[in-house]
């Protein structure tokens, strides 16, 4: 039986035991997956209030605004949440590459056999 979180219309994010949600980011125009990151409650609030993607950096242990040093911000057009509210989908207009390597997307390689091949 689905609970109210699964079927209702009340925002009630289900953060994991580290206080995080998975965030999937896609390009609004192309629908290409740009990146996957994590958000805590503060990052979700900042994203909703500013219209620019904020995340929780697990490596830095701090809130960060995507593009804070590169200016490659992600302007959020829409936020969707999955059925059990433990993951969000940010539909964005990117202001540059999404990947820290300079690639448009973090998913610029595919697995072939035991190796990786660049995606054109």
Ligand-binding site membership of 84 (annotated) = yes
In this model, does residue 1 exceed pLDDT 70?
A: no
The answer to whether residue 57 is domain-embedded is yes
Question: What pTM was computed for the model?
Answer: 0.93
User: Alpha-carbon distance 80 to 113, whole Å?
Assistant: 35
* 14 is a domain residue: no
- Calculate mean pLDDT across residues 80-91: 97
pLDDT value of position 3: 81
Residue 4 lies in a domain: no
Q: Is residue 58 assigned to a domain?
A: yes
In a domain, 9, yes or no: no
Q: Is 106 annotated as a binding residue?
A: yes
Specify the pLDDT at position 48. 98
Q: Which is more confidently placed, 17 or 1? A: 17
CA-angle at 96, arms to 99 and 107, nearest 5°: 30
Range of the structural domain that residue 65 is part of: 20-118
Annotated binding residue 99:
yes
In a domain, 85, yes or no: yes
CATH number of the domain enclosing 82: 3.10.20.810
Q: How many domains are there within the chain? A: 1
Is 12 within a domain? no
Please indicate if the annotation marks 93 as binding a ligand: no
Q: How confident is the model over 24-46, as a mean pLDDT?
A: 98
The answer to whether the Cα torsion of 31, 35, 41, 42 is positive or negative is negative
Res. 19: pLDDT tops 90: yes
């Amino acid at each position: 039986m689905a609970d109210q979180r699964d079927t209702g219309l009340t925002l009630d994010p289900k953060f994991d035991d580290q206080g995080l949600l998975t965030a999937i980011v896609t390009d609004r125009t192309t629908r290409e997956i740009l990146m996957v990151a994590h958000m805590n409650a503060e990052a979700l609030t900042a994203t909703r209030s500013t219209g620019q993607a904020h995340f929780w950096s697990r490596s830095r242990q701090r809130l960060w605004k995507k593009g804070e040093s590169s200016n490659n911000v992600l302007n959020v057009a829409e936020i969707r949440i999955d059925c059990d509210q433990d993951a969000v989908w940010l539909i964005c207009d990117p202001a540059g590459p999404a990947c820290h390597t300079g690639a448009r997307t973090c998913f610029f390689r595919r697995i072939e056999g035991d190796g990786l091949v660049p995606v054109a």
